[in-house]
Amino acid sequence: MSGEPTTDQYGVLDRSGERSQVRFVRRLRHAPEKVWRALTEPEHVSAWFPTDIVGERAPGADLTFPFRANEGPTMSGRYTAFDPPSTLEIVWGDDVLRFELQPDGDGTQLTLTVVLEELGKAARDGAGWHACLDALAADLDGTQAQTPEDGWRQVNKEYIERFGPEASKIGPPQKWIDAHGEP
């Protein structure tokens, strides 16, 4: 599958580089400054990001990422870019998350690029980040999103179909299944 953005809400898998990437392009109805706050301020992060983000909000800052429901081990990472309100890049465990914000009329175009350590988890993680971005949009709009688990379940099969068997070999960790049930 090509790495070109699509007009739908689904991420696109790009296998052309050294590491596979899933890229999302979303238009949000809010100014870049408001979106930036939702990406970085703890009270907003807890509404959409799968873990807490503990550490200084600054380039090069070391971070820890504890899961709120203990569905995975605490991960470590760091900010590799922190340029308000346009670019945020995080090493999140073995993956890299890059958020780019561009003004788009009275809103923002958000591009999230997830650089994956393993191709086999692309469908699982693509569905997860899809659900996270839906929750981010709901938080920005002041509405209630479905739970991340339900959001993931809703789109996971579509990601498996879109990305194919090689990108669908790794499912949820056992701790996630123990906490939330079978997918």
CA distance 115 to 125: 11
Question: pTM for this one?
Answer: 0.92
* Selected residue with higher pLDDT from 178 and 10: 10
Taking CA atoms, 45 is separated from 104, 156, 174, in Å, by: 22, 22, 24
Instruction: Determine the residue type at 46.
Output: S
Instruction: Determine the residue type at 48.
Output: W
Looking at the domain that runs over 12-171, which CATH code has it been given?
3.30.530.20
Q: Lowest-pLDDT range, 3-7, 56-60, 72-76, 99-103?
A: 3-7
- The model's pLDDT over 110-144, given as tens digits with 9 standing for 90+, comes to 999 999 999 999 999 999 999 999 999 999 999 98
- The model's pLDDT over 29-85, given as tens digits with 9 standing for 90+, comes to 999 999 999 999 999 999 999 999 999 999 999 999 998 888 788 999 999 999 999
Burial of 68 (0-12, 13-18, 19+ CB in 10 A): exposed
| Bond before 85 cis per omega within 30 degrees | yes
pLDDT at 53: 96
Start-end of H helices in the chain? 32-40, 42-48, 122-141, 148-163, 174-180
pLDDT at 149: 82
- Nearest Cα neighbor of 93 from 117, 112, 68 is 117
Structure-derived torsion over alpha carbons of residues 71, 147, 2, 168, reported in degrees to the nearest 10 = 40
CA distance 158 to 10: 9
Indicate if the pLDDT at residue 176 is higher than 80: no
Structure-derived torsion over alpha carbons of residues 102, 105, 108, 110, reported in degrees to the nearest 10 = -60
Rounded to a whole number, what is the largest CA-CA distance in the chain? 44
Mean pLDDT, range 10-18, rounded to an integer: 94
